[in-house]
Amino acid sequence: MVNQENTTRNLTKTALIVIAVMLFAASVGWLALGNVIRSPEIPIISNEPDPEEGFVPDLRSDAERKPLFFTFLIFGLTEGDNANTIMVAAYDGEARKGYVISIPRDTQVDVQRSVRKINSAYAVGNLRGGGHEGGVRRMKYEVQTLIGFRPDFYISVDYEAFTHMVDAVGGVEIYVPFHMRYDDPFQDLHIDIPAGLQVLDGKNALHFARYRTGNDRRMTISDYQRIEHQQQIIAAMSQELMTPGTIFRIPEFISIFNTYVDSDLAYGELLWFANQIRNISGTDDLELYTLPTLGTSGLPHWYELPDKEGILELVNRTVNPFIEDITEEDIRIRR
């Protein structure tokens, strides 16, 4: 299912890496920070209907939750405020497992605007007078229409965090399936990565995650393959950040986080999560998925059409924070 959108957009902010950044606190004597570390409180969600959509933001705000289970909306923005990397993540503190579901940027959402792609949700909320807070609120709302609940917290990452984090851990080992060549003078983008198993620095890791089409148009990959490349980098980064040597990079990690990351998690809450995440026994306990779709709508918009049944099965098996299953009544998917 090859998406026909303009391939020059920045689709490469693999934002989940910010969760791995939180591991820095687990690598040091975090107990010395006990006066600032605190467990997060699940935010109270208003059940006022959306004035334009008539949809209740979260019908399950009072439902019984799984203990020590937290959810996150993770996204990266282009210069035009489109969220072209979108992920829903969850941390299960009792099972000591992490889950990530990547949402294709062109996924169709059931909203009133003319172009109903989820990647424009942030810009819509921002431009309608809500600013950054309105953009985040709108993104959480539209994600909820797909998965049946509103994520507890958000993490927004600048793509430079990605390149700096990769360089900070000394690069990531990635198998490149073919020689990736692409030149776009308009963006000053020049990709040239040979095929084979190799250690990519931050710049080339970003290019690997960005690559969609080549100078030779036969070397084109789908949006789903690009998501797979991003997930390969996430897994490689997680593995690198779990090594003892990361302790010497802690000041650099903190600087990257403070410069390029925005979140509604307080610093003490981030430290609490860092200590929790260090209990994950290995990268096998980080499961990566892509939101199930039925294919594209074709012209004119090339929407990725959500698979309701597939989404319900995946969400209830992974990121659902509630004791009871998410049902069809909790989501809103256009047919």
Residue ranges per structural domain of the chain: 17-159+232-330
Neighbours of 184 (CB within 10 A): 13
CB 138 within 8 A of CB 122: yes
Check pLDDT > 90 for residue 313: yes
Residue 249 DSSP one-character state: G
> Rounded to an integer, what distance in angstroms lies between the CA atom of residue 176 and that of residue 159?
21
User: How many CB atoms are closer than 10 A to CB 149?
Assistant: 25
316 pLDDT exceeds 70?
yes
**% of the chain at pLDDT higher than 90:** 33
The pLDDT value given to residue 13: 33
CATH topology of domain 17-159+232-330: Aminopeptidase (3.40.630)
- pLDDT for 12 beyond 90: no
In the chain, which ranges are E strands?
A: 69-77, 83-92, 97-103, 153-157, 172-176, 180-184, 189-193, 196-200, 261-263, 286-290, 293-296, 304-306
pLDDT tens, position by position, 241-287: 767 666 667 677 777 777 888 888 887 787 777 667 666 645 567 78
Q: What is the mean pLDDT of the chain?
A: 80
* CA 135 to centroid of chain Cα atoms: 16
- C-alpha 48: how far from chain center: 27
